[in-house]
Structure 1
Amino acid sequence: MKAIYPGSFDPITNGHIDIIKRASDFFDEILVAVMINSKKQYLFSLEERRKLIEDSFKNNKKVKIDTFEGLLVDYMREHNYRAIIKGLRTVTDYGYEAQMALINKNLYKEAETFFIHSEEKYSFLSSSIVKEVYLNGGKLSSYIPNHVENALLEKIQVTKNNR
């Protein structure tokens, strides 16, 4: 069975990577679906986010990457996906993700959401926190892969130079 793991991934973190790796133990294919969320302002472009994910999984044949805009269920229906993977860090995540699972099921009866709880060491980790830690001089090596840290360093330098 194949599953879809949607998210913004701005940037991908070790927490995301852990969820994808663990999900790939149960599913034949994991599609990491990089989405555009109109409510978010991104540091990395859609293609940059896609490339960072590709580089993270270049040796994992079970992981595919695509981008989309619009409703997840429309993408799922069009590409014949039924399983959604969602990572949970906190009770707050559960409340939001449970609501999303119900609306997705209501819009697309074949959709089933599978929740994977984050490892304790990633339970506080988000892309927003990674960017905040970096902007304030914190160390990132346990939060993101080296290639993502390098891309973040380059992106922040370019952003600072363009001000």
Structure 2
Amino acid sequence: MRIAVCPGSFDPVTNGHLDIFARASSIFDKIIVAVFHNPNKKPLYTMEERVEMLRMATAHIPNVQVDCFSGLLYEYVRRQDSTIIVRGLRALSDFEYEFQRALLIKKIDPQMETVFMMTTADYSFVSSTGVKELAKFGGDISGLVPAAVAAKIIERLNQD
């Protein structure tokens, strides 16, 4: 069984993320979408809330499993009996950052492979940060995130 891990902060999950998950699910037997606790970021949602939103958003993709972790990515991937990391790319700037990360992981664990997938043009401009900013100022985020996620974003931002 070919298992791939698709890590990220997913704060919140966007339709661009879902595009990558769905396309990767046709290549690999199992995709583990793993919410990463990044101590350098201050998320809008708790890890548990992000896992819940991802489970709702990926329910239609039968071979996707949602999980969460903290610590080193390559160690997490190994614990999942995998050596494959899937990373979504929107632009050249994403590639430069992700390429350096992939090379570091490859240096540490030569068996580890990173697969880069370009998002479709429809979502190349969508980022979690951009979605949150747009929603904060009352912009329309429909079409950028799943409807259930949009409702949660608006609800959270109205609490502040």
Percent same amino acid among aligned pairs?
40
Amino acid at match of 1:69: S
Amino acid at match of 2:155: E
Amino acid at match of 1:57: T
Which segment drifts farther, 35-44 or 55-64? 55-64
- 1:59-103 Cα offsets, whole Å, 9 max, x none, are 322000110001100111222111110111111111001101101
In 1, the alpha carbon distance for the partners of 2:82 and 2:110 equals: 12
In 2, the alpha carbon distance for the partners of 1:76 and 1:25 equals: 19
In the alignment, structure 1 segments of 5+ residues that lack a partner are: none
Pair 1:134 & 2:138 matched: no
TM-score of the pair, normalised by structure 2: 0.97
TM-score of the pair, normalised by structure 1: 0.95
In the alignment, structure 2 segments of 5+ residues that lack a partner are: none
Amino acid at match of 1:68: F
**What corresponds to 2:40 in structure 1?**
39
Tell me, yes or no, if the aligned pair for 2:5 and 2:84 is still in contact at 8 Å.
yes
1:107 CA drift (Å): 1.4
Amino acid at match of 1:88: L
Tell me, yes or no, if the aligned pair for 2:3 and 2:81 is still in contact at 8 Å.
no
Tell me, yes or no, if the aligned pair for 2:105 and 2:112 is still in contact at 8 Å.
yes
In 1, the alpha carbon distance for the partners of 2:79 and 2:57 equals: 26
- 1:28-74 Cα offsets, whole Å, 9 max, x none, are 10000100111100000000000000001223220001100011001
RMSD between superposed Cα atoms in Å: 0.8
Amino acid at match of 1:85: V
**What corresponds to 1:97 in structure 2?**
98
**What corresponds to 2:117 in structure 1?**
116
